Structure 1
Amino acid sequence: MHISEFKPDQLIVVAPEGLTAEFERLTAKFFLDFKVVTGGSTRQKSVAAGMNEVTSDFVLVHDAARAFTPKEVFDRVKGALEWADCVVPTIKLSDTVKQVNDHWVDKTVDRNQLRLVQTPQGFRVSTLRDGLARATSDFTDEAGLLESIGVPTATVDGHEHGFKVTTPSDLERARAIFADVRSGIGVDAHQFSDAGTLMLGCLEWPAYPLLSGHSDGDAVAHAIVDALLAAASLGDIGSNFGTDRPEYQGASGELFLREALGLLSDAGFEPANVSVQVVADEPKIGPRRLEIEQHLSQIIGAPVSVLATTTDGLGFLADSRGIAAVATSLVRMRG
C-alpha cells in the first residue's frame, strides 16, 4: 500500500522501549495526527499498550514487519468488521504439510483445511479489550486470544506480498519483488525578487521576498519535480510546464509537484524516496526542517529528507541574492 493511501481515523504506533523518540521522528514524516506508545515484552503486552489509546469502535492491528501488505487487504478486513467481531486475512498453503514426531511422519495433513494468517487483523474494540482483560496466558496473535474465549474468527483473502520481513532471505524476497527502482536528479536556482513572499518547500517564509520566475520560484519544489520526472524518463519541468504554458504563470510549487506525481502515476510509477539539499545563506532551514519534511512528505506520499548548506562565500548564493536546490529521487513501478 502506498503511504499516501493510508488515512486512518486514528494512528497508534507501538515502539520498543527506548525508541519512542525515533519512532515519533519517523512517523512525523508521513502523518500529523498520531501517537507513539511504548510496547511491552511480548506482542500481547504491546497490543494492550496500544489499545489503551484507541478511541474508535473498531481497530486494525498490523505488523510493521509486513511492510508490503496491499491496500486491498486492509479494505477487506475493514469491510468484514461490519458482520464479525474478529477478522484475519489468510492465504492458502502451497506445500504439502506433514505432522511429525521425533523425525518420523505421523500423517499427512490435508492442507486444504489450513491457512497462513497475516495482518492487519481487525476487531471490534470492546471485544478485543475484553479478551485482553481475561487473558491468562500469552498468545502469538490477538485472534488466537479471542478464539480461546469463544469469539469466532472470520477470514478474508490475504495477499502474497503480506509476508513478514524477519530474516535475510525475506529481505532478498522483498528486493526481488520490488526491484524496479529508478533514480533521478534535479537542480533549480532562482534569485530573490523585490516583492512578494518567499515560497520554499511549498511553505511561506514571510521574512523574505519571492524568488523570481515564471511561477512562484520555489527552488526546492522545482528541483524535486525535475528529480521525479528524470527518474521516470518523463522529461523535465521545462518541457512539461514551461513558460509557453500560460496556465502555469505564477503557479505554486505544490501544483507542479502534484502535476508531476500525476504524470508518474500515468506512467505506472510511484515515488519511493526524495532527498533535497538547499544551497543558500538565507533563510536558515534548520528551525523549520521538520516542518518542511512533513509537508513535502504529505504532498509526495513518500519520505522526504531536507538538508541545507552554504557556498562558503562562493558565487551569487554567497551574498543572499538567491537560493539553489539539488534533489534526488527514487521511483518504483507500482506492483
Structure 2
Amino acid sequence: MSTHSGPRVAVVVVAAGSGTRLGAELPKAFVRLDGPTLLERSLYAVRGMRHAADAVLVVPAGRVEEASAIAVAVFGRPVSVVPGGATRQQSVAAGLAALADDVEVVLVHDAARALTPSRLFDAVVAAVAETGHGVIPGLPVSDTIKRVAADGTVHETVDRSALAAVQTPQGFPRDQLLAAYAAATTDETDDAGLIAAAGFAVTVVPGEALAFKITTPHDLQRAHDLIAPPSQPTTLPRIGLGTDTHAFDPSAELWLAGLHWPDEPGLSGHSDGDAACHAIVDALLGAAGLGDIGGIFGTGDPRFAGAHGEVFLTESRRLVEAAGLHIGNVSVQIIGQRPKFAPRRREAEELLSGILGAPVSIAATTTDGLGFTGRSEGIAVFATALLR
C-alpha cells in the first residue's frame, strides 16, 4: 500500500504522442493492449507504487476529458490532466506547470512504456532521495554498435561497455528539473539531457526489460505476447501405475522381465506368466488412457497362449505412440524371494529398454518372509510409466 513517507512525489505521465509509427488511427496512449489502453496500463504502475505519488497526465488537447475519466477509474479520484504541446519537451513543460507546490521529486514517464513495473518507479524515487540529483534507469547495450556516415560507411566500433539504453521513469529533484527547463535552448530527446546541459548530475540505475517503449506494430505485438495467456494449456506428463501377481508353477519355465531363467520354477498364466512385462503393459496403457492388459489382449485369447512379454510390450508401445504419446521412462519393482535378480538386472534393463525405446530401470526386493511372496508362493510386480 502507498505511503507518504519521504519526499512528496509526482509522476508526469507523457501521453501526447500521435502514434504515427504505430500505424494507429488514434493517439498512441489510447491504443488498447489486450483491453486497457497504454495510458491505463501506465497508470496501473503509478497506482502500484509503494511511495505515494500524485499523477499529472499530459495528453492531446482533444483527449483531456477522456483521459480524466480513465484516471478516475484507475485512481478512484480526479488527477491533473493537461493538454500537451507540439514536442515532447513542450508537453513535459506543461505537466511541470501543473505540479502541486509541495512536490519535491518529479518522475517523468512515457505512457508508451506501458509495461514498466511499479518497482522501477519506487527504485528511481529512492535513488533520487538518496543522491539528491537526477536518476535514470538504463539497460546495458548488448548489440555491437557502429558509428556510420550518412552514406552508410562504417567509421568505427563504439565501446558498448560505456553505453546504456535509457528508459523512463526518469526522476529529478523538482528544483533542478524546473531550472533545467527554464534554461533550455534546444530540444533534447529526454529530460536527463536537459538536466545534464544545465550542469546537474545524473546517474543510471538498473532498468527493467519490461520497460521497453511501444512505438511500432512489432512492439505492440511483443507486449501482447508478454501479457497474453497461453493459447493452449501446458501439456503435463502422464503417469501410469501397473501391477501383476503370479503364483509359482514348478511345471512351467520362468520368464521374468523378458528373460528366461533356467532351473527356476515358472509362473502360472495364460501366456508365459511374465509378471514384470504385464505390469509394464498396464502402466503404459493406463498412462495413455487406453485401458488395461485384459481389455486389450484378453485373458484367454488363444493367439497369446504362451506368448512372451515382448509381444505385449511391442504392441503396447505401438498403441501409445498411435495415441500421439511417447514413452519417457519406466520404473519396475519386483517383489519375491526368487529368482536372485541382481546378477541379471543390467541384462533385463537393456532388453526392455530396447523394446520400449525408452529407459527402463528395475529394482528387486523381498518382504522378509511376510505374505505369499515371503513364503515363496509367487511374485508380485509394480511398474510406473511416464509418457510425454
**TM-score (structure 2 length as normaliser):** 0.45
Residue 140 of structure 1 deviates from its aligned partner by 1.1
- SS at 1:136's partner residue? coil
Q: Answer yes or no: is the 8 Å Cα contact 1:88–1:118 preserved in 2.
A: yes
- Correspondence 1:163-182 to 2 at 5 A: 163-180=212-229
Aligned counterparts of 1:153 and 1:16: Cα–Cα separation in 2: 30
Give deviations 1:104-143, integer Å, cap 9, x for gaps.
1101111111000100000111111111111111111111
Q: What does residue 29 of structure 1 align with?
A: 73
Aligned counterparts of 2:70 and 2:117: Cα–Cα separation in 1: 21
Q: Answer yes or no: is the 8 Å Cα contact 2:71–2:78 preserved in 1.
A: no
Give deviations 1:19-55, integer Å, cap 9, x for gaps.
1111111111111141101111111111111111212
Return closer, same or farther for 1:173/1:181 CA change in 2, 3 Å cut-off. same
> Which has the higher relative contact order, 1 or 2, with Cα contacts under 8 A spaced 6 or more apart?
1
- Correspondence 1:71-220 to 2 at 5 A: 71-82=118-129, 83-101=131-149, 102-180=151-229
1:10 has 2:54 as partner: yes
- SS at 1:151's partner residue? coil
For 2:174, give the aligned amino acid: V
Q: Answer yes or no: is the 8 Å Cα contact 1:77–1:89 preserved in 2.
A: yes
Q: Answer yes or no: is the 8 Å Cα contact 1:88–1:156 preserved in 2.
A: yes
Q: What does residue 44 of structure 1 align with?
A: 89
Aligned counterparts of 2:171 and 2:95: Cα–Cα separation in 1: 14
Q: Answer yes or no: is the 8 Å Cα contact 1:10–1:33 preserved in 2.
A: no
1:62 has 2:137 as partner: no
Aligned counterparts of 1:72 and 1:42: Cα–Cα separation in 2: 29
Return closer, same or farther for 1:96/1:12 CA change in 2, 3 Å cut-off. same
Give deviations 1:147-198, integer Å, cap 9, x for gaps.
112111111000111001110000111112112179xxxxxxxxxxxxxxxx
Give deviations 1:83-104, integer Å, cap 9, x for gaps.
1321100001111100111211
1:20 has 2:64 as partner: yes
Residue 71 of structure 1 deviates from its aligned partner by 1.7
Residue 10 of structure 1 deviates from its aligned partner by 1.3
Aligned counterparts of 1:129 and 1:154: Cα–Cα separation in 2: 18
Identity, in percent, stands at 42
For 2:110, give the aligned amino acid: D
Larger radius of gyration: 2
Aligned length: 182
Aligned counterparts of 2:80 and 2:199: Cα–Cα separation in 1: 32
Aligned counterparts of 2:54 and 2:228: Cα–Cα separation in 1: 32
- SS at 2:199's partner residue? coil
Aligned counterparts of 2:123 and 2:79: Cα–Cα separation in 1: 23
- SS at 2:187's partner residue? coil
Aligned counterparts of 1:174 and 1:50: Cα–Cα separation in 2: 27
For 2:79, give the aligned amino acid: F
Give deviations 1:176-230, integer Å, cap 9, x for gaps.
2112179xxxxxxxxxxxxxxxxxxxxxxxxxxxxxxxxxxxxxxxxxxxxxxxx
Q: What does residue 260 of structure 2 align with?
A: none
Structure 1's unaligned 5+ residue stretches are: 183-335
Residue 9 of structure 1 deviates from its aligned partner by 3.0
Residue 67 of structure 1 deviates from its aligned partner by 0.4
Aligned counterparts of 1:124 and 1:97: Cα–Cα separation in 2: 33
- Correspondence 1:241-256 to 2 at 5 A: none
Aligned counterparts of 2:227 and 2:53: Cα–Cα separation in 1: 29
Return closer, same or farther for 1:71/1:9 CA change in 2, 3 Å cut-off. closer
- SS at 2:54's partner residue? coil
For 2:137, give the aligned amino acid: P
Aligned counterparts of 2:196 and 2:205: Cα–Cα separation in 1: 16
Aligned counterparts of 1:107 and 1:145: Cα–Cα separation in 2: 28
Q: Answer yes or no: is the 8 Å Cα contact 1:81–1:124 preserved in 2.
A: yes
Aligned counterparts of 2:74 and 2:230: Cα–Cα separation in 1: 21
- SS at 1:62's partner residue? strand
Q: Answer yes or no: is the 8 Å Cα contact 1:11–1:33 preserved in 2.
A: no
Q: Answer yes or no: is the 8 Å Cα contact 1:84–1:154 preserved in 2.
A: no
Aligned counterparts of 1:99 and 1:84: Cα–Cα separation in 2: 34
Q: Answer yes or no: is the 8 Å Cα contact 2:68–2:78 preserved in 1.
A: no
Aligned counterparts of 2:179 and 2:230: Cα–Cα separation in 1: 45
Q: What does residue 303 of structure 2 align with?
A: none
Aligned counterparts of 2:214 and 2:230: Cα–Cα separation in 1: 19
Give deviations 1:54-101, integer Å, cap 9, x for gaps.
120111110000000112211111111121321100001111100111
Q: Calculate the aligned-residue CA RMSD, in Å.
A: 1.7
